[in-house]
């Protein structure tokens, strides 16, 4: 990636720092022979193969395998853009301060800011100010494969069984690349001591390592009846398993918290994904009452106004709960890594006999690890409540007398019509000072829902 006026830069571990004469400095595009791309342009041949075979009119067999790549988002690798052309720095007056940090009418000369393309002036800065994208950024590489058997049934129904699998590597692993090395935990000695943290969120980008892996497999059974005689139905059951090193989705990690403990070994974080749902049932049904105009019975104008044009539909889903990770409220791991969490040690049985929203798991099955060590409990080791939802719609359509194309429809839509609560994951931060006599009531307690209660919406639509 390049910028037309070379307005970009960032951290490079291979450069020698002009002040400390140690590895790790700042590059600026085109300055002192600096590179003009934040990462190399790469190409890759990606073979793919698909087959389909129909031994009879009612059977179809399909299969395929292929290699795929995914583009890096600007949320991940866009940090170097514009670096060095603006002003970098921050100052906080605190909530109790009586003296302002700066006057709007002043020059701002006293603010702790850095600007320009002098690499030495950026020493001492770190997370939030220094972006990092490795020049040898790899291509996200994935293999996907599928096989399915489809059978046509009477009434034009179709049943299908399929298997889907994938393997991805070179994935993003959010971490602080300037964390204390594993052989020196607690020493506060960073690999590049001229900077503080260099990692998650720095420079407006999500940085780290690019060696993550993910593996997915699923088996699915589908039954579909196309619309006919006023009836449509579609059902699917899926069993699946998704494991990875980290779930990075960018834009605030909107698909669940991102946790890591070991900043240098992504494989140590390999476990169930935030997206893992081992069992899921989904379906949809639509039914139009076969009465009124266009049908054999009750097709008079009066009867049609009463019983014709009615349609009911429902969709439903029931799936396994979301995995979640237990972390310590304190962090004595000794990594000094930005965004890093300390996993607890598993010392007992985490399951409770009477699981409830007040006690989803046994908080005393976990304990704080020794200082400057990592906990042995893996990421996403427990699973939250399952999700169920049933939606329903009912509509009535009238034709407008004397107006062939005119129609009026009244409609009622209900979300979560059964008003069934589906709960969020419980509190996951282990309190090291809690005791059985004085438990932390927030740990293991559920305080929210994943979907709203029943919502009804009435609407009218006139079409012509």
What secondary structure does DSSP assign to 403-441, as a single string? EEEEEEEEEEEEESTT----B-PPP-EE-TT-BTTB--T
Phi and psi based region of residue 249 (left: phi greater than 0; alpha: psi -120 to 50; beta: remaining): alpha
Q: What's the sign of the alpha-carbon dihedral 92, 94, 95, 99? A: negative
CB of 419 closer than 8 Å to CB of 347: no
Tokens of 295: 């049908």
Query: Per-domain residue ranges for the chain?
Result: 279-464
Three-state SS string over 285-341 comes to EEEECCCCCCCCCCCCHHHHHHHCCEEEEEEEEEECCCEECCEECCCCCCCCCCCCC
Q: What pLDDT was estimated at residue 62?
A: 97
Measured in degrees and rounded to the nearest 5, phi and psi for residue 403 equal -130, 100
Tokens of 215: 């593996």
Within 10 Å of residue 99's Cβ, how many Cβ atoms?
A: 5
Distances, alpha carbon 148 to alpha carbons 29, 62, 164, 238, 280, in Å: 51, 5, 9, 13, 19
Reported as a pLDDT band with limits 50, 70 and 90, residue 30 is confident
CB of 142 closer than 8 Å to CB of 154: no
Q: Average pLDDT of 1-11? A: 86
Reported as a pLDDT band with limits 50, 70 and 90, residue 247 is confident
Task: Render 342-382 in DSSP notation, one character per residue.
Answer: -PPEE-S----SS--SS-SS-GGGEEPPPTTS--SSPTT-E
pLDDT, one tens digit per residue, over 391-444 is: 999 999 887 776 667 788 899 999 999 999 999 999 999 999 999 999 999 999
CB of 408 closer than 8 Å to CB of 398: yes
pLDDT, one tens digit per residue, over 110-123 is: 666 676 778 888 88
Q: What pLDDT was estimated at residue 88?
A: 66
Tokens of 123: 């020493």
Share of the chain above pLDDT 90, in %: 61
| Dist. CA 7–CA 21, nearest whole Å | 26
pTM for the structure as a whole: 0.86
Checking if the pLDDT of 254 tops 60, the result is: no
3-state secondary structure of 128: coil
Q: What pLDDT was estimated at residue 183?
A: 94
């Amino acid at each position: 990636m390049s910028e037309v006026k070379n307005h970009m830069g960032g951290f490079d571990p291979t450069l020698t720092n002009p002040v400390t004469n140690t590895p790790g400095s700042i590059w600026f595009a085109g300055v002192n022979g600096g590179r003009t791309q934040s990462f190399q342009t790469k190409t890759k041949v990606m073979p793919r193969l698909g087959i389909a075979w129909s031994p009879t009119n009612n059977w179809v067999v399909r299969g395929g395998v292929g290699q795929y790549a995914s583009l890096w988002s600007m949320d991940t690798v866009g940090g170097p853009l514009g670096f060095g052309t603006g002003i970098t720095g921050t100052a906080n007056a605190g909530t109790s301060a009586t003296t302002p940090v700066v006057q709007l009418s002043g020059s701002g000369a006293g603010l702790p800011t850095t600007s320009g393309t002098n690499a030495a002036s950026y020493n001492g800065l770190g997370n939030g100010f220094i972006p990092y994208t490795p020049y040898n950024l790899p291509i996200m590489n994935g293999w996907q494969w599928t096989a399915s058997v489809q059978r046509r049934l009477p009434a034009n129904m179709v049943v299908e069984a399929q298997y889907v699998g994938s393997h991805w590597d070179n994935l993003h692993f959010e971490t602080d690349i300037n964390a204390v090395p594993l052989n020196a935990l607690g020493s506060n000695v960073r690999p590049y001591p001229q900077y503080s943290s260099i990692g998650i969120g720095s420079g407006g980008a999500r940085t780290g390592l690019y060696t993550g892996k993910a593996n997915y497999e699923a088996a699915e059974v589908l039954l579909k009846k196309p619309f006919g005689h006023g009836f449509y139905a579609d059902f699917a059951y899926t069993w699946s398993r998704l494991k990875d090193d980290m779930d990075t989705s960018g834009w605030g990690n909107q698909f669940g918290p991102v946790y890591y403990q070991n900043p240098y070994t992504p494989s140590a974080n390999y476990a169930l994904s935030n997206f893992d749902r081992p069992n899921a049932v989904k379906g949809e049904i639509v039914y139009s009452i076969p009465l009124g105009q266009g049908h054999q019975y009750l097709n008079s104008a009066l009867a049609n106004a009463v019983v014709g044009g009615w349609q009911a539909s429902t969709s439903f889903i029931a799936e396994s709960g979301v995995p979640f990770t237990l972390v310590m409220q304190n962090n004595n791991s000794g990594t000094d890594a930005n965004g890093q969490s300390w996993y607890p040690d598993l010392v007992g049985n985490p399951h409770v006999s009477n699981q409830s929203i007040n006690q989803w798991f046994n908080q005393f099955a976990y304990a704080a690890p020794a200082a400057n060590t990592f906990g042995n409990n893996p990421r996403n080791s427990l699973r939250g409540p399952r999700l169920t939802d049933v939606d329903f719609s009912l509509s009535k359509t009238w034709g407008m007398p004397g107006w062939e194309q005119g129609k009026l429809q009244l409609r009622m839509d209900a979300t979560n019509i059964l008003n069934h609560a589906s709960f969020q994951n419980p509190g996951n931060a282990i309190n090291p000072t809690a005791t059985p006599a004085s438990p932390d009531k927030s740990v293991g307690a559920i305080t929210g829902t994943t979907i709203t209660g029943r919502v009804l919406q009435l609407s009218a639509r006139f079409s012509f």
